[in-house]
Amino acid sequence: MLNISTENRNYKPAFTSGITRKLSRNYYHCEADVVEIFNKHPQKNGIAGQLPINWIRKVGRTKKHEVIKEIYSQFAKTVELAKTNIENAAENINTVLRKHKILAPNQSYNIVKIDTSGAVYTANGYILSGNNTYSYFIKEFSDLSSKSPRLYKLMTESNGKYVELARALNINNRIKDRHIMHTHWGDTKNGYMVSEYVKPLKEYKSPIEIKEFYDSEKTLVNDLYKKYGFTYEEIKKYKVQTGYEYEDKFYSYPEDRIIYNYFSNMFEKYGLKDYDLHCNPDNYIITTDKKGNPLLKLIDFGGITHI
């Protein structure tokens, strides 16, 4: 297994702008490349990305670096506590966020553990939510250090805490597509990543049935928008094949193929390919946009590689 340096000789605040900029702007092919970047920035303590902007705005300018460093430190403690005591974990993060006025005295976060059984790369998953607050998803990565060197290298080529964080930051920066989950930051030293919480529509069953054929592609996409949130402009932007014309009718492809074509074409435009798109339907969640309309989102960045 590759080792990331953790020594912080200068005791500098764990502000992550430099390393985040590198990971956001550049594609790194494998874990070794990502680890090399972190090792060049030991003062970042294995962290890349940034706290949610609505948190940062509430942090005063006085000792801002120290405050952010403390939040990162206490968040790592929260993730560790959550393994054995959810209530203590929630109280820990609430205390530090109230201390720095990110939460008002009457506000609090709850932590809910979700079922991650069967997930190879996720040890635990948590939802951080509260009253009058944004919600976040915490992904705690599985510890792969006990694997043989050969198996470890194979498993971390396009998955794991280093690669998935690097991919998420790079994709969020380069593509900026509303059908992709936004990742805030990751802590590779403590093995977790924090993203927006994409709340699934409970027992979602759309009243829209995608028909076998339509009078035009636009009428098909109109139904795709009502069911998944894909607009005609988005479909054309990525040259997504939604079906084919035959005898003055437009025949729709199967829905899973259209979804695959959307993300496949989108990634290809930026020189990327997602090898998990076809084989893992759990990579997608249907949620709602700000207006309450259905919106399909990609929530996993494992399996994405450079073409």
Residue 21 has pLDDT above 80, yes or no: yes
Same domain, 75 and 173: yes
- Residues 48/185, Cβ–Cβ less than 8 Å: yes
| pLDDT of 303 | 81
For residue 173, what pLDDT is reported?
A: 94
Q: Mean pLDDT, the chain, as a whole number? A: 91
Residues 37 and 85 in one domain: yes
Query: What total of structural domains would you count in the chain?
Result: 2
For 50, phi then psi, to 5°, come to -150, 160
Look at residue 10 and tell me whether its pLDDT is greater than 50.
no
Q: How far apart are CA 77 and CA 167, in angstroms?
A: 25
- Distance (Å, whole) CA 184 – CA 20: 11
Range of the domain at 102: 17-196
- The pLDDT score that the predictor gives to residue 279 is 66
Give tens-digit pLDDT for 216-230. 999 999 999 999 999
Identify whether residues 121 and 259 lie together within a single domain: no
| Co-location of 112 and 241 in the same domain | no
Residue 263 has pLDDT above 70, yes or no: yes
Same domain, 169 and 233: no
User: 3 in a domain, yes or no?
Assistant: no
Per-residue pLDDT tens for 138-189? Answer: 999 999 999 999 999 999 988 999 999 999 999 999 999 999 999 999 999 9
Instruction: Verify that 240 and 119 share a domain, yes or no.
Output: no
Residue 125 lies in a domain: yes
Domain contains 61? yes
Asked if residue 189 and residue 103 are part of one domain, the reply reads yes
Give per-residue pLDDT as tens, 105-144: 999 999 999 999 888 999 999 999 998 789 999 999 999 9
Q: Is 9 among the domain residues?
A: no
d(CA 87, CA 106): 17
Please indicate, yes or no, whether residues 70 and 154 belong to a single structural domain of this protein.
Answer: yes
User: Could you tell me if 168 and 253 lie in one domain?
Assistant: no
Same domain, 59 and 192: yes
Query: Which pLDDT belongs to residue 307?
Result: 81
Q: Is residue 52 part of a domain?
A: yes
How far apart are alpha carbons 212 and 254 in whole angstroms? Answer: 9
